[in-house]
Each structure stands twice: as C-alpha cells, then as structure tokens.
Amino acid sequence: MIENLAQLIEYRRERSPRQSFGVAGSHRPFEEVADRAAGFAEILSAHGLGRGTRVALIGRNSLAYLTAWVGLQLAGAEAALVNSTYADDMLEQMLTNLGVDGVVVADVNPVLRPWSGTDRYIDASQLAHGTVVAGEAVLTVPDPVGTMPGTGRASSDLAGFIHTSGTTGLPKFCALSHEYHLSLGRFIADMMTIGPDDTVFAPLPLFHINPLGYGIVGGLVAGANALSAPRFSANAFWTQVRDEGVTAAILHIPPVEILKKRATREDAQGHRLRVVFGADAEFMERFQIPVGLSGYGSTEAAGLTHSRVWRRGEVPDDGAPLRRYAGEARHDVEWRLAEDGEIQVRGRRPHVLFDGYQVGDQLTSVVDEDGWFSTGDLGSLDPGGGLVFRERRAESIRVKGEFVPIDMVEKELSDVPGLADFALWKIEGDLQDDQVVLYTEGALVDLDVLRAVSGSLPAFMRPAYLIRVEQLPRDEGVGKVRRRQLPDLAELERIAL
C-alpha cells in the first residue's frame, strides 16, 4: 500500500521508468528525473532541508521545477508552492508567516530575507542539467545512495502547502497531507480513465492544485506520461498537444474560454485528445473532443470533491453551462447543502480534505465539531441528486485563475493623491475572466501616480479602468462599501489605466 508521494515516485520509477515527465518540449524518462531528484534530495538533507522541514518552492513551470518538487518529496520535506509573480516583499512576508526553513528557486531569483545568500537558499534552475547553487557554492548533484527519507512519511504527514489567492489580505497556506494528494490523484485518474498509454497535459502554473494534483499526481498514480508547459499559451496549445501526443488535458474555465476565442477547429486538427477536464459543450464540439469533465472542489475541499462525465453533444436540459453541473461526490467525500444553500463537505476518512490553514507552528482547522467544512459556495441539486454549483457567496475578483486580494490592493493604492474614497471591484471582461476596476468619488486623482503604483502590482491585480461615480454605496452601520451595487451606478467618467 502506497502511503506517501515518495513511495509513489519510487514505485513509478520501477514500474514506469520510460514514461515522459517534465514540460512540453523539455522532458525526460521518469527514471532519469527520479534519479536526479534523489540526488537533489541528498543535497537538501545535507543543508538541513530534509525530512519534516518546511521548504518554499518558487519558480516557473519547467523540468527543473518539477524535478525539484520530486526531490523535496523524496527528502521528506514539506513543499510550499508559491506564486513566483508576487513581489519580493510580499513573498518574504508570506514565507515568514509560514515559517519556512529554506527556499528553492527555479528560473527566478527573488531577494528574500533571511534566506537569500545562505546555504538554505538553493537555486535549482540548472537541476535538470545536474548542478544547483547553495549560497555561493555550485554543487554537482550526486548519484543517489540508500533509502530516501521521504518514503518513511506517514499518509497523515504533510506533503506540502498550496496558498489561496488572498481575497482578504495575504494569501493563506493550505496544509495538504500525503493522503490528500494520493486520494485526489486516484480520483482524477479514475474519472478520466487515465492509464499507461496516456499522456496527461496540465499547462497551468504548478503552484495551483489543478495542474499539480490533477495533472502531475494524477498522471503518476496512473503510470502515464505527465507533462506541464512553460506557460499556458493559446497560440502554442494545439501544437504542444499534437507534438507531445497528448490524450488527456487538465484545463480550467479561463483557458477553455481563451482557446474558444482564439483557436479554430483547423488549429486543432490532428490532435489525439480523448478527454479534457474543464471542457464545455462548445469546446468539445469545435475541437472534436469525445469526452469532457466538469466538477467541483477547491484547494481546501479535497482538490476535487465532485465530477461528472459529458460526451460530445450532451447538454443539460435547462441549457445551463456544463461547468455548473458538478455531478456525484467521490467515494471518500460526503456532502450536503445547508439551509441557505451553502455547499458543505466532509471526508469519510481523515486527511482527505485539507488539514487547515498554516501560520508558523499554528495549524488552524476550519471544520466544525462533526468534521464539516463550509465552502462559502452556494449550490443546489440536479434532477438526479447531483450537485449544481451556483455561485460564490463571498465577494471576489478572479483574473486568469487568480483571486485578487482586494484589501491588499486597496492598501497599496490608498496613498495615491486624490483617491480618498474608492473601492476595487470588477466588470465583465472580454473573456471569462473578471476585469479589475477602481470606483471613486474623487474628481482630482493623480493619474500618473495611480498608474505607477498600479504598474508595480502583479499583472492580474492591476485595475484596467478608473470609474468615477457620484457616491459609493455603503452600509449604514459600519460604512462598508456594497461592492455588488457598484456596477449599477451611473458612471460620470471612465478612464483607461
């Protein structure tokens, strides 16, 4: 019985040594990746970043990044996967709050006190070529020797952390066990009927549970070829799918919408895709995909708690988008709807859901005394008793799969001259994504300063427009802006930023 990710990695090294692993255009047989990762695990352990330590992994999707992640699992470390587009000071604050023991980077080089310049700051950008840099020392990755420490981890131990997108304040780190990862990977492999003859393609950023848990872990569980991409590109997607012989793809709503907008059936001709997670009816019809999957879940809620299979040509009787039909729950998850329609889930065994939010040594569980997790999402029942996702209860803005941390962005903009009364919110974008906008009552905003401050933020956080209105709607009691009412206000002026 496989108890942890390190055991899964070693099992696949023995059983599936020639399966491809890496990113489109840069991958190697899994046996080679696992051996290089095992040597890296020895370096990690020698630098005090071995079993039971907490290590941040920051980088872009690459063979080096994936090899580093495999190495962290073999070392028995808890790998905190972090968005590399965040500013250095934000990364530093997040890692300080989490209490990481060290940092591994790949193809990025943030300055992070107190780790930068020490031997616990390891640059693994050249790991795929056999070297890493620890502090000032260039190290050759050794051949692996002996048993990997990670194989001794319990299924209940933490495999790592994936952070939320921080809708209120700093992103929170979700603590995820080995059991969580293995159960999720098995569910995906089963639902998509992935096997050794498949090539799984998960092109989204690997610090999300969708590409890592569904694609990489799901591919490893199934013994398939498992690939990511340096970055998601609509222009490159179908070429990558054809060139790599992809048969199963892991997508999400925004990339599906982008591909529908920017690609034609002719662009996709010659592909071998048989199943796509996240595909809708239009996507399957245009690109001739036999099977699509919809589902429901979150990083907190087991990664994916529900899923439903659709054949090309099938549509719901009510004409609603396929993605709202989440289907039946997986065998190890219970679910129910609260009186107000909120979706609640519970694992049928420990550690199927996330363990809680981690800050330093403090792990905060958010399930009730009976183990139920309230998701903050609203749902209903389909005619067959399956779950239908309706909407998120909380106010949120989502751009390119990322939730914008509203409070944090507003704090960054609060010192802009003339921007006294304002609120960050959203309008409908050209694609599926929201578009960030700034509502204000002020008529004398310093646009040069506003653009400069906005430009210092990660791209997905930047307001696209400044919209001037007569008065912001507020609660009478606490004076909180009623964001949902903002799009209904008469616009006095709209300025592109």
Question: How does pLDDT run along the chain (497 residues), one tens digit per residue?
Answer: 999 999 999 999 999 999 999 999 999 999 999 999 999 999 999 999 999 999 999 999 999 999 999 999 999 999 999 999 999 999 999 999 999 999 999 999 999 999 999 999 999 999 999 999 999 999 999 998 889 999 999 999 999 999 987 655 688 999 999 999 999 999 999 999 999 999 999 999 999 999 999 999 999 999 999 999 999 999 999 999 999 999 999 999 889 988 998 999 999 999 999 999 999 999 999 999 999 999 999 999 999 999 999 999 998 887 778 888 999 999 999 999 999 899 999 999 999 999 999 999 999 999 999 999 999 998 999 999 999 998 777 677 888 778 787 877 888 898 899 987 899 999 887 666 789 999 999 788 999 999 999 999 999 999 999 999 999 987 544 457 888 889 999 999 999 99
194 lies in the same domain as 168:
yes
The CA distance from 380 to 296, in Å, is 12
Say which CATH number the domain at 438 has.
Answer: 3.30.300.30
Confirm if 229 and 24 have CB atoms less than 8 A apart. yes
22 lies in the same domain as 80:
yes
Cβ count within 10 A of residue 363: 13
330 lies in the same domain as 474:
no
11 lies in the same domain as 52:
yes
Among 389, 413, 430, identify where a domain stops: 389
The CA distance from 40 to 70, in Å, is 9
Q: Report the domain count for the chain.
A: 2
192 lies in the same domain as 48:
yes
96 lies in the same domain as 138:
yes
Residue 304 belongs to what domain range? 5-389
Burial degree of 2 (CB within 10 A; 0-12, 13-18, 19+): middle
117 lies in the same domain as 40:
yes
Strands, sheet with 465-468, edge to edge from the N-terminal-most edge strand:
422-428, 434-440, 465-468, 493-496
